[in-house]
Amino acid sequence: MIFLKFSLGKIIGCLAGAAAGGFIGLVIGFVVGAIVDKLHKEGGRLWLNNLSPGNTGEMDPNDFVVGSVLMAAAVVKSDGKVEELELSYVRSFLVEQFGTLQMQNYWQILIQAIEKDFDLKKTTREIRKSTSYETRLQLVHFLFGIANADFNIDEIEIATVKVISIHLGINASEFNSIKAMFYHDIDASYKILGLTPSASDFDVQQAYHTMCIKYHPDKLEYLGQGVMNAGKAKFLKVKQAFENIQKERGIK
């Protein structure tokens, strides 16, 4: 009942938006409904101030997931095929984040976004304006996870994630770091830490500590358990990369 009470705006917004403007209207209706629900839940307090550049990282988790779902759809359909393994990857994330019942709204948005075109550039820029850099790094990791769900990342999928990454304002070296997390060799371990094999032992240790701070999953706690768990997986990749280099070099 509590979920229904604070979700009526989204439900009504989706229905009204879909009737008025198809899929795009549905998405707009969802976001407007989210604003109404948030105002209701917080006693009428204006929350749009949270989306200002000075308050990045405070975006409503529901709005963040809508944007994430749209970007996920772009990756899923980028190679001209809709793989069940990729859909399952997204479904698992949504279930973990919201539970089986609540995830259905987001699942319908995913399917509609796969079937119809939408303004990907505008979507990514809205996410960029209203989220922290660490959150956007996690989003890029999520998109690579989708591309890798069928155990084969196509070049066109990489290109799609790269375009999204650029619009999200992600540094090229950090894009390459996250990309390297989905490959298994010693060179990938260096790339994850943003280094080359010529780096000194001191540089390796410093880079590791920097990455641990940047990728710490606690920075994603406000986005929900599903996102936080995904952040832990990314954090573990950094740890494994450092341990691989330690073993190769004999660093104690």
Q: What is the pLDDT of residues 190-220, one digit of tens each?
A: 888 888 888 898 988 998 898 888 878 787 7
**Domain positions in the chain:** 1-46, 47-249
Please state, in angstroms and rounded to a whole number, the distance separating the CA atoms of residues 33 and 248.
Answer: 54
* pTM confidence score: 0.62
Considering the segment(s) 47-249 as one domain, its CATH architecture is Orthogonal Bundle (1.10)
Please state, in angstroms and rounded to a whole number, the distance separating the CA atoms of residues 89 and 229.
Answer: 14
Distances in whole angstroms, Cα of residue 16 to Cα of each of 29, 63, 141, 235: 7, 18, 34, 41
Structure tokens at 187: 């060179």
Q: What is the pLDDT of residues 16-36, one digit of tens each?
A: 444 445 554 545 445 445 444
Structure tokens at 164: 């999204």
pLDDT of residue 195: 86
Closest by CA to 71, choosing from 90, 91, 48, 98, is 90
Closest by CA to 66, choosing from 15, 105, 37, is 105
Structure tokens at 20: 């008025």
Closest by CA to 130, choosing from 57, 62, 66, is 57
Helix spans in 131-180 (H): 133-147, 155-167, 172-180
Q: What is the pLDDT of residues 77-127, one digit of tens each?
A: 998 989 999 999 899 888 887 777 778 888 999 999 999 988 888 889 888
